[in-house]
Each structure stands twice: as C-alpha cells, then as structure tokens.
Amino acid sequence: MLEVTGLRVAYGGIQAVRSITFHVNEGETVALIGANGAGKTTTLKAISRMIGIAGGDVHFCGEKIVGIAPHDIIRKGIALVPEGRGVFPRLTVLENLRMGAFLRDDKDGIAADTERMYGYFPRLKERADQLAGTLSGGEQQMLAIARALMSRPKMLLLDEPSMGLAPIMVQKIFEVVRNVAAAGMTILLIEQNAKLALESSQRAYVLESGEITLNGESAALLHDPKVRAAYLGE
Amino acid sequence: MDISLHQLLQQFPQQVVNGLVQGSIYALVALGYTMVYGIMGLINFAHGEVVMIGTLVAITVTGLLAAAGMPVGIAGLCGLVISILSCMAIGWSLERVAYRPLRGSPRLTPLITAIGMSIVLQNLAMILWGRNYMTFPPLLPKVNFEFAGAYFTLVQVVIVLLSALMMSGLVLLVYRTKLGMAMRATAQNPEVASLMGVNINRVISAAFVIGSALAAVAGVMVGSYYEVAHYQMGFVLGLKAFTAAVLGGIGNLVGAMVGGILLGLIEALGAGYIGYFTGDFLGSHYQDIFAFAVLIVVLMFKPSGLFGEKTGDRA
Ligand SMILES: Nc1ncnc2c1ncn2[C@@H]1O[C@H](COP(=O)(O)OP(=O)(O)O)[C@@H](O)[C@H]1O
Ligand SMILES: [Mg+2]
C-alpha cells in the first residue's frame, strides 16, 4: 500500500535519511524503530510532504505522491499523528475532531465517527468542550489519534505515540491502536520504545543514523540479539 | 484658568461619543492588522494605505455616479461596494505579490517589504488622485441628535452601528464557520492544519481579503466623518490602528476591537482635557501624542497587550 524507495532527506548539507527503502502492505501494522535522532520523524514528514526530499520515491496505493501539495496528502487517505501530538491548543476537543474531518461534508457520518471516537476514548467525550491545550499529555495523544481517524483514512502514520506519557496512559493508547489495527487499518508506527512497537506490529524496520540496518517479522526481531542489545536494554 | 471643572465635566459625554465613533473606526482597521498577524506573524504596515485607497475609490465612484444624476445616497452605497471590492483585490494582490514569495524568510524581510508596499501604494494613490485634499461628498442627511448632554450626527450613529455589525459578522465567521475554524487552526499550527487538508495559502488570502474589506468600510467611514481625504491619510490612521491592535494584544480579535474603542476614548478624552491639565500649555491639537504614548507604554510594560496570551503564542 505504501512503498518508499531510496528515500533521501537532507537538512542543509546534513543527510538525515540516506536512501531508505521499505513498504507497508494493506492491513498491516509496520513499526519503524530507532534511537533518538535516527531519522524517524524526518521519514514521516517526507512521506506526508511536510518537508522536501533530496531523492527517492514514495508511492501510495500505486500512485506517486512525491509531487503533491501537503494539504492533499489527507485526500489520498493518509493521516498523520505528528510527533508531540500537535493538537490545536485553543480549539476545543470537539473542534479538533472537526478539524480532522475538515475535508468531509457528510454531517451524519461525522457525527457518527465523533461518537465512535468517544467510544475509543471516553475521556474525550467528558472534555468535548474544553480547550485542547488544557488536556494532559495522554489526553492530547488520544485526541491527536482520534482527530487523524476522523478523516476516515486508509492509512495511519503514528509518530511516537508513547512519547513522554505515563505507562498506564501508554497502555490505554496502544490498546486503541491495536483495536484500530484489528479493525483493518493499515498503520506505520514509529517508536523509540522498541519493545512496545515490536509487540504491536507484524513487521518492523530498524533505522540507525538514517539507514535501515535490520528488518523482519516483529516477533523475530524481539528475540534478535542485536535488537535486544541495542533497543531492549539487554 | 477660566474654565471651571464643572464645564469640563459637562463636556464628558460629548468626548465619550467622539471617542466611540473614532474608536469604532480604529477597531475595524485594527482587525485587519490582527488577523494577518495572528495567522502568519506579519505586521502588514501597508494596511493603512488600503484604508486610504478605500476612501479615495469611494469618493471617485460616488462623485461620478452622483454627477451622472444618481441620488447621492445610492451613489454612496455603490461607492462603498466598489471600494470594498477594490480593497479586497488590493489586499489579495499584496499578499500574492509582496508577501507570499517571502514566506520562510527572516522576519525582518517581510516587515521591510510591508513598509515598501506602503510607500508604493501611497505613491500610486498620489499619481491617480493627485496631491490635493479631496472633499468627501456628504452621504447622509445632516441630522443631529441629543442624548444625555451629548450631541451626535446621523453619520456618527451609522458609523458606530455599522462597525458593531461588521465586528459581529467577523466574530460569527471566525467562531461559527468552517473557514473560521481553519483560520484559527492555521494560526495555532499551520503545519498540522495543512495535514488536516487546509490549504494554508487560501486561509492567508482569506485573512487579507477580509481584513481589506473591513479597511474599505473604515475608509468610507473616515471619509464621511471628516469629509476630506488625502493620499497620505492612511499612514497615521494605520499607525493608530496598529497601536490599538497592540493595546488589545496583537493576534487577538476581541483585543483589536476593545483596543480600538479604548484608543478612541483615550484620544478623545485626552484631547478634551489636555489643555486643562497642562494649564493650556498643550492644546487639543496634541491629540496624536496619546496614541503613541499608549503604544510606548504598552510595549514597555505589557507587550502582549490586554488580551494577549503569553508571548510566542499567537492568535
Ligand atoms: N529541522 C531540522 N533542521 C536540521 N536538522 C534536523 C531538523 N530536524 C531534524 N534534524 C536532524 O535530523 C536527524 C534526524 O532527526 P529526526 O528525524 O527528528 O529523528 P527521530 O525522529 O528519529 O528522533 C537528527 O540528526 C536531527 O538532529
Ligand atoms: Mg522523532
């Protein structure tokens, strides 16, 4: 469904991503793990057209998406949950959800999806009229995920949903991610928390200094000695 | 001193009326500064010139139509509409031609460009309309009212009501429509807003076009209030409206409205009483110093303004 081939991204003269190739099949959850600064966020930003690329190609559902405008990415069916959540702090929770559905006109469908999000995250329903900036970090992460789902995407890109959250919150959020995946969503999950990412995905790629050094079945990587040494603290 | 305190107090309602009228005009212009700043962090110093062009276009169109035999009221209405459309076009072009190519460049660059555009528009107006003062045709019958010791004209009443109407319309647009929500989202996080499918360029254009429409209305108000116009009139007016926006907290809509009205009141009361408090050393022609004193004081003690969020947090 998503095919990234030879993708290169540079900031000024510095190569942040050096010719990486990976793919995500329909219905799969694929993890992209790596240490801080490995180039994970850069990869996602390049796919979602928030930054320009130095080379390579990105295809989504067979269509080249490298040349299109950033605001057209969501039209293609790709929804990004950005690093640091990126909720609109002075919009209410409900308005944030409506922003997720910005390109949709089907009032009834939007209302139904809003209820579905409240089902995933009852906390958001309680706080529907509160400004998003007043939510806790975990609640903001819930909101960012719910907002992305409001566009009814074909694929979800998640940038470190566990970042800075208490373990109990991380559990709740990953439970929803797994439910969404089980319901058929295609997911590219980016994480520094390798254990969590490998446990929640079918396949994974390991990114190191802008290069993919390992890839395979997540279950196998969980037992790979190199991965255990480098990312699982053993 | 000859004037008694009693007499001064009697003038008070009149000063308040004058301040409200002037303040309504400042508020409309301040909204244009604040919308653009809120969305893209740019101070569009050419905005005062858009007001000026609004006034001059209205004079020309009204004059031509009235000369062709149209009743002056209807000619004035056409003048207003054409002035609004012209200013919208100018605001839109200004962003397209002058500011969009500079997006992403250091903050000083678009600021200098804005000052440049202000000079360009002034000179353009000078070429088109000449250097002389022009008289603005009286659009409304000269009717006077009296209320609580203050006198006011029909023009003044219309200015305050129309301004209130425009401001309510803007608030509804920004807080009750999808475009408004996109504008607020863009102001808070343009990158993420575009991920939601918002075309940032359209939102920015919308801010310029809406701000310029308000500027045109303000321009017609100024014209019919003072009944004169001149190609340089936009400069001080723009600076004062900018002061009003800063006073209210630049980037904040309610702030611009409150700041505009407050500045109008400060000026009117200041001009009314400066003679008394300085023993006639300074007269009411010093009224312009109040706006700039306010600007300096706000920038020194509360740069985020009355309604401004903490610095670095726009709109
Ligand atoms: N805006 C930027 N300008 C310059 N360098 C950047 C920028 N963003 C990221 N980098 C650099 O690119 C590399 C990859 O960063 P990033 O993709 O954010 O890593 P990750 O998300 O894996 O932590 C890092 O070395 C980082 O310092
Ligand atoms: Mg990152």
Is A66 contained in some domain?
A: yes
Out of A15, A42, A50, A207, give the residue to mutate to test ligand 1, the one with the largest number of ligand atoms within 8 Å of its CB.
Answer: A42
In degrees rounded to 5, what are phi and psi of residue A64? -70, 125
- Per-residue pLDDT, B279: 73
Question: Considering the domain boundaries, does residue A233 fall inside one?
Answer: yes
Q: State how far the Cα of A39 lies from the Cα of A205, in Å rounded to an integer.
A: 12
**Each residue of B226-241: pLDDT tens digit?**
999 999 999 999 999 9
| C-beta of A17 in contact with ligand 1 (< 6 A) | no
Looking at beta carbons, which residues of chain A come within 8 Å of B184?
88, 90-91
What does residue A15 show for φ and ψ, rounded to 5 degrees?
-80, 115
Ligand closest to A34 (CA) is: 1
A35 alpha carbon, closest ligand: 1
**Is A102–B191 a contact, with Cβ atoms under 8 angstroms apart?**
no
Q: Is the CB of A16 under 6 A from ligand 1?
A: yes
CA distance B214 to B87: 9
Distance CA A190, CA A44 (A): 9
Q: Which residues contact A2 (CB under 8 A, 6 or more apart)?
A: A23, A24, A47, A58, A59, A60, A78, A155, A186, A188
Contact B170, B253 (CB under 8 A): yes
pLDDT at residue B23 greater than cutoff 70: yes
Q: What percent of chain B has pLDDT over 70?
A: 96
Ligand 1 atom at minimum distance from A44 CA: 17
Calpha distance A17→A7 (Å, rounded): 7
Q: H or E segment at A30?
A: strand A29-33
How far apart (Å, rounded) are the C-alpha atoms in residues B199 and B207?
13
What interface predicted TM-score (ipTM) does this complex get?
0.93
Q: What is the pLDDT of residue A207?
A: 94
Taking CB atoms and an 8 Å cutoff, what residues of chain B touch A73? 195
Total residues found in chain B within this entry: 315
Give the strands of the sheet with A211-217, arranged side by side: A78-81, A155-159, A186-191, A29-33, A203-208, A211-217
Q: Chain B: residue nearest A151 by CA? A: B196
Pairing status of strand A155-159 against strand A186-191: parallel
Closest ligand 1 atom, CA of A34? 22
Three-state DSSP at A187 gives strand
pLDDT at residue B282, as a whole number: 74
Question: pLDDT by residue (tens digit) across A91-140?
Answer: 999 999 999 999 999 999 999 999 999 999 999 999 999 999 999 999 99
DSSP of B191-259, one letter per residue? Answer: HHHHHTT--HHHHHHHHHHHHHHHHHHHHHHHHHHHSEE-TTHHHHHHHHHHHHHHHH-TT-HHHHHHH
* Span from the CA of A83 to the centroid of ligand 1 (angstroms): 12
pLDDT of residue B274: 76
Domains along chain B with CATH numbers: 5-301 (1.10.3470)
Q: What is the pLDDT of residue B276?
A: 74
Q: Do A86 and B315 touch (CB under 8 A)?
A: no
Q: Domain of A231: which CATH number?
A: 3.40.50.300
Distance from the first to the final alpha carbon of chain B: 48
Domain range for A7 is 1-74+197-234
Domain presence at residue A187 = no
Residues facing B80 on adjacent strands: none
The protein residue whose alpha carbon is closest to atom 9 in ligand 1 is A42
Which position has the token pair 């993420």?
B192
Whether the predicted pLDDT of B216 surpasses 60 = yes
Would you say residue A138 lies in a domain? no
* Residue located via tokens 């928030």: A50
Using pLDDT thresholds of 50, 70 and 90, give the confidence band for residue B309: low
- pLDDT at B283 (0 to 100): 72
Distance from the alpha carbon of residue A38 to the mean position of ligand 1, in angstroms: 8
> What pLDDT score does B313 carry?
39
Chain A residues touching B198 at Cβ < 8 A: 71, 99, 102
Q: Give A95's contacts in chain B (Cβ within 8 Å).
A: 181
Does A60 reside within a domain?
yes
Taking the CA atoms of B62, B47, B94 and B308 in sequence, report the sign of the dihedral they define.
negative
Dihedral sign (CA A13, A16, A18, A20): negative
Residue B100 pLDDT greater than 50, yes or no: yes
Alpha carbons B148 and B14: distance in angstroms, whole number: 9
Answer yes or no: are the C-beta atoms of B160 and B145 closer than 8 Å.
no
Residue A56 domain-assigned?
A: yes
Quick check: A100 contacting B, CB < 8 Å?
yes
> What is the share, in percent, of chain A residues with pLDDT greater than 90?
89
A204: which 2 tokens? 């994974």
User: Among all chains, which residue has been given the structure tokens 């303040």?
Assistant: B23
Contact of A14 with chain B, judged by CB distance below 8 Å, is answered with no
Mean pLDDT of B109-120: 95
| Total count of domains within chain A | 1
What integer pLDDT is reported at residue B245 of this predicted model? 96
Q: Are strands B228-229 and B134-135 parallel, antiparallel or unpaired?
A: antiparallel
Are B238 and B53 in contact by the 8 Å Cβ rule? The answer is no
Q: What pLDDT does B3 receive? A: 61
Looking at the domain assignment, is residue A31 inside a domain?
Answer: yes
Give one word for B4, left, alpha or beta, with left for phi > 0 and alpha for psi -120 to 50: beta
Pick out chain A residues at pLDDT < 50. Answer: none
Q: HSE of A163 in the Cβ direction (CA atoms, 13 Å)?
A: 20
Domain-located, residue A2 = yes
- Span of B71-85, B107-121, B260-274 with lowest mean pLDDT: B260-274
